[in-house]
Structure 1
Amino acid sequence: MTVLVFLDPGHDDGRVADASQPQLMATDLGATRGDGVFESMLAVDGTPRKEQAHLARLASSAAALDLAVPGADAWGRAVRTALREFAAAEPDRTSAVVKLVATRGVEGAGRATAWVQVAPVPAATLAQRAAGLRVLLLERGYDSTVAQRAPWLLMGAKTLSYAVNMAAIRHAKAAGADDVIFTSSDGKVLEGPTSTVLLARERDGRKTLVTPQLESGILAGTSQAALFAAAKGQGWELGYGPLEPHHLFEADAVWLISSIRLLAPVLSLDGQELRTSAALTAELTDLVDRFV
């Protein structure tokens, strides 16, 4: 079951559309050029998680594209309409994926096309969260300073142009892995195609949680930020790169975190087993469940 709600003028709470029928014009620039932005967030028991953080990042991505999109209030009303429709159709499901999508619209129209999509969480996503991930390191092809030199590359924006990200995951699966961690051409650890990288170090009772630095051109992770805030409150020390692959091999545990899959432990990297920690994973998963 998929629910679509379009943010059309004259529909304050959004326009419910039939997801089984064509809804997007073939001349929409989102379809022809990937010119648009999106966000994905988890909803549990009809309530979206980290909604304001996702709306803020959507607005930031849209600003980077010079794209005028609906405001946060309009998105919020459409999300609630979509979640009500989904709950009515799928009363036994407790969680759902909520996607917010905005394109530059039909070419020449001068108005964005915007909609909310709600669908079940894929079973494969839940399985990876529980079983862990085999990951490949793949070079992204840019150095770690390109985002500062070339803002037009939109390195820190969440755009619809995900063809490279999806190609990377297909490459990993063809090689017998589950996911990817991108590296820069100058050897820095960046992010996953749809996730943020975390590692933990535990020394003399002091626990440190580390993620790559944003200045390297990665997307600001809403789940990573929420987990860091929760972990700090529990006495964890926090770190922000720069990281290189050897830091992942030396860590006590490595995870990929995202809004839908949540926290998934990395079991191996380029075929080499990594250290894992059931205790640290359980502790951080509890924080994710409570605060993320």
Structure 2
Amino acid sequence: MTVLVFLDPAFPDGRVADSGTPAILATDQGVTRGDGIFESLLAVNGTPRKVQAHLDRMARSARSLDLDIPDAGTWLRAISTAAATFASASPQGPDEHGNTNIVIKLIATRGPEGANATTAWVQASAVPPLLAEQREKGLDVLLLDRGYDSTISHRAPWLLLGAKTLSYAVNMAALRHAHSHGADDVIFTSGDGHVLEGPTSSVLLAQLADRGGAPVKRLITPNLDSGILPGTTQGALFAAAKEAGWELGYGPVEPQDLFRADAVWLISSIRLLAPVNTIDGQAVGTADVRSRLTAELSALLAQTH
């Protein structure tokens, strides 16, 4: 089941629409050109997680596209309507932590050609069961060249590499390529050999060391200015990990750093923290260390809001 709530000035809390009937004009530029933006977030027990971070990132994406979108308060009211409508119509069973989760997606397009009016709506749906399985079993990943060097976003901002746009055809093609080769997901690399991100996730790696007899745990993610999307969940985990005594690092990360790491993860708002078992068929770290660190970091992530 999917719930749609359109941001309509005539309905202060959003207009609930039947998801089984057409609701978007065929001339909408989000459909014909992928000209729009979106955010996906998790609502846990009816409460959206990291909602302000998602709204802030959506506003940055909108500025990158010169797209006029509704204000934060309007989105928040529509999110509440969508979550409540979905929960009442399709009660969900608890996950492995006893929580009831809903996927909330915020979407805004440039609207129909020539209309000069943004189309915006909130979508609520169930969390795909596959994501919990990937968190539990881990991922086999391929490295794929994204075709740009790591400095291209500064030289060519019109590529919108730091914005979360609707133009996800390349990302989905990368995932299909991985699946056709027996892998679960992808980590993109730049033309100059830097690790970037996954098609729908951020990349994290852990390094364990001993410093003067004291154990040191370091959590690293690629440079945020290398043309990747700043991850809201990665940012929340970094803040929690710092409080718990982890050292933090921001790239540059190269493929050999992944293979030398004690653990690697793909992290996103809906799938959360999914450990990487292999990259290009080569094992990453050891199963026991990977399992222990995943449990520790997942517990920290569960405490974020």
TM-score interval (norm. to shorter): over 0.9
Q: Which residue of 2 aligns with 1:171?
A: 177
Cα deviations by residue, 1:13-67 (Å, 9 ceiling, x for unpaired): 0000000111110000000000000000011111110000000000000000000
CA drift at 1:128: 0.8
Q: Which residue of 1 aligns with 2:256?
A: 246
Q: Which residue of 2 aligns with 1:283?
A: 296
Alignment partner of 1:202 is 2:215: no
Q: Which residue of 2 aligns with 1:230?
A: 240
Q: Which residue of 1 aligns with 2:74?
A: 74
Do 2:92 and 2:101's aligned partners in 1 also have CA atoms closer than 8 Å?
no
Alignment partner of 1:274 is 2:280: no
Instruction: Give the TM-score taking structure 1 as reference length.
Output: 0.99
2-structure distance, mates of 1:224, 1:87: 27
Alignment partner of 1:89 is 2:94: no
Q: Which amino acid counterpart does residue 62 of structure 1 have in structure 2?
A: A
2-structure distance, mates of 1:232, 1:148: 29
Q: Which amino acid counterpart does residue 79 of structure 1 have in structure 2?
A: I
Matches within 5 A, 1:40-79: 40-79=40-79
Aligned counterpart in structure 1 of residue 110 of structure 2, from 76, 100, 104 = 104
Cα deviations by residue, 1:119-175 (Å, 9 ceiling, x for unpaired): 000011121111100000000000000001111100100000000000000000000
Instruction: Give the TM-score taking structure 2 as reference length.
Output: 0.95
Cα deviations by residue, 1:69-121 (Å, 9 ceiling, x for unpaired): 00100000000001110111122441110000000001111010000000000
- Structure 2 unaligned residues grouped into runs of 5+: 94-99
Identity, % of aligned pairs?
Answer: 66
Q: Which amino acid counterpart does residue 163 of structure 1 have in structure 2?
A: A
- Report SS of the residue matched to 2:149: coil
Q: Which residue of 1 aligns with 2:160?
A: 154
2-structure distance, mates of 1:56, 1:207: 30
1-structure distance, mates of 2:247, 2:76: 34
- Report SS of the residue matched to 2:13: coil
Do 2:261 and 2:285's aligned partners in 1 also have CA atoms closer than 8 Å?
yes
2-structure distance, mates of 1:282, 1:78: 34
Q: Which amino acid counterpart does residue 80 of structure 1 have in structure 2?
A: S
Q: Which residue of 1 aligns with 2:227?
A: 217
- Structure 1 unaligned residues grouped into runs of 5+: none
2-structure distance, mates of 1:142, 1:195: 18
1-structure distance, mates of 2:144, 2:235: 24
My pick for the range that moved more, 48-57 or 90-99, is 90-99
CA drift at 1:10: 1.3
Moved over 4 A (4+): none
Q: How many residues align?
A: 292
